[in-house]
Structure 1
């Protein structure tokens, strides 16, 4: 799958991975739909892209997942079809389980899981009708194994894998593709915007995230994985090997994560 002549919809496109995806893909011969909650930032991203006349801005909030059919209808009006939906929008969390209110767990599930699932389900009839479609889901290595202080985030990301693995199986007959992208540490604002125990933002960067992959390097690898229609892609530095260590010995991975003192 190449992006040439495709219509690509990116959520979480106002910053970080989503913004870099928009900048990168705008250099190809494709049309883009950019979504997040913040219209002003989306317009700034659009104006920074190549060929802004081929880009539509469609702001919405994943938290309001009951409205997704209307959102999809609006997106389809832009260019008449959607070939690739990149589910990149979401939030993270940093807090001990014992202190984290259940409202934080609920919010992570509603935004990261239910919002993504509702949007994808609303688009599914269009994919079936066209007998083609590609879902790209920005999960996390935390969707494959867990680490301390990310319990709600890990739960939501693990859930995404369960849902989209089932979708891939059910709609293989309709030529619907699913690529799960599992980032490790990427130098974005994800840690600054992560929710803490009471639902407030953490507000500062952590060293592991700051020392993660540069976002442009990450996106180049992500784009290659999408073009190859990989089922899953683990993109990071040393931390990505946690996926393979868990297959061999969950107990060993447990010890290594404890030793790393990741925060």
Structure 2
């Protein structure tokens, strides 16, 4: 049996409408998983679903997970159809690069709400026996910005550091329920978020950032492959860790 296979596993993925979340959805489907795709934009979620392996069982939840009182009910409906959750990837997130003088309490709040709180709240739901498989794996997408300092990213870096620390605590608490919890910290990945950031900071600053990645800018599939490992039985003894996928960025 292939230890890296996701066959007979149902995986819930937030932020599945674009970027890393879309790539994770496609690659998980290729590994045999059934999928619950979560995001705000139903049209983009349908586009993601259209890119999955043809025989993939898939359900969609088009909701703003930061303001949804019914997210548990929606998850319960999908679990009733697809089966209990074996894996969870929290890809949903926002990034903002601004000098500290332009940071505001609202900015911190907005970033933490989606990057940290929404993911942990869904993990709380998925840790309940009525929704989880006998064994399951939760993966939170953090960032190297949560490990090393980057100018203009106080709020974003703080949120991603919180993801790493929180995931470790969840790993300790949820292990008794046979739930493994890990985070992944990518450096710059070629996504719409990166494109917008490069537009904000200009060509010269963008070139400097690219130079800091010895293996170049990463692709969404690089993160998706790491997620598949952590979700699979091949990682059955891996919990409470932060897997760095950064093309050498943080080694300098």
Query: What is the TM-score with the length of structure 1 in the denominator?
Result: 0.80
| Superposition map of 1:200-211 within 5 A | 202=200, 206-207=206-207, 208=209
**1:218, 1:236 within 8 Å by CA — same for their partners in 2?**
no
Q: Distance in 1 between matches of 2:149 and 2:130?
A: 33
Q: Cα offset for 1:45? A: 1.2
- Paired residues in the alignment total 236
Q: Which has the higher contact order (CA 8 A, sep 6+)?
A: 2
Q: 1:229-259, CA deviations, whole angstroms, 9 ceiling, x for partnerless residues?
A: 34221001121326xxxxxxxxxxxxxxxxx
Q: Tell me the residue number matched to 1:155.
A: 158
Correspondent of 1:34 among 11, 34, 37: 37
**Which aligned pairs between 1:21-170 and structure 2 lie closer than 5 A?**
21-51=24-54, 54-64=57-67, 66-126=69-129, 130-170=133-173
**What's 2:225 paired with?**
220
Which string of whole-angstrom CA distances, capped at 9 and with x for unpartnered residues, describes residues 135-160 of structure 1? 11111112223211111111111112
User: Which has more strand, going by share of residues?
Assistant: 2
Judged with a 3 Å threshold, the aligned counterparts in structure 2 of structure 1 residues 203 and 192 are, in CA distance, closer, same or farther, namely: farther
CA distance in 2, matches of 1:40, 1:161: 31
Q: Provide the alpha-carbon RMSD of the alignment.
A: 2.6
For the residue of structure 2 that corresponds to 1:118, the secondary structure is helix
| Residue 232, structure 1, aligned to residue 235, structure 2 | no
Distance in 1 between residues matched to 2:86 and 2:226, nearest whole Å: 20
TM-score (norm 2): 0.83
Q: 2:10 aligns with which of 2, 7, 13?
A: 7
Q: Could you report, residue by residue, the CA deviation over 1:208-248 in whole angstroms, capped at 9, with x for unpaired residues?
A: 36951122234234423443434221001121326xxxxxx
**In structure 2, how many angstroms separate the alpha carbons of the residues matched to 1:17 and 1:146?**
22
Contact 2:144 2:244 in 1 (8 A): yes
C-alpha change, 1:117 and 1:221, in structure 2 (3 Å) is: closer
Structure 1 residues 141 and 3, CA, compared in 2 at 3 Å: closer, same or farther?
A: same
Gaps of 5+ in 2: none
CA distance 1:221–1:81, shift in 2 (3 Å): closer
1:19 corresponding residue in structure 2:
22
Q: Give deviations 1:33-67, integer Å, cap 9, x for gaps.
A: 11110000110111121125511111111221544
- 1:186 and 1:209 in contact (8 A); partners too: no
Deviation at 1:102, TM superposition (A): 1.7
Unpaired runs of 5+ in structure 1?
195-200, 243-263
**What SS class does the counterpart of residue 187 from structure 1 fall into?**
coil
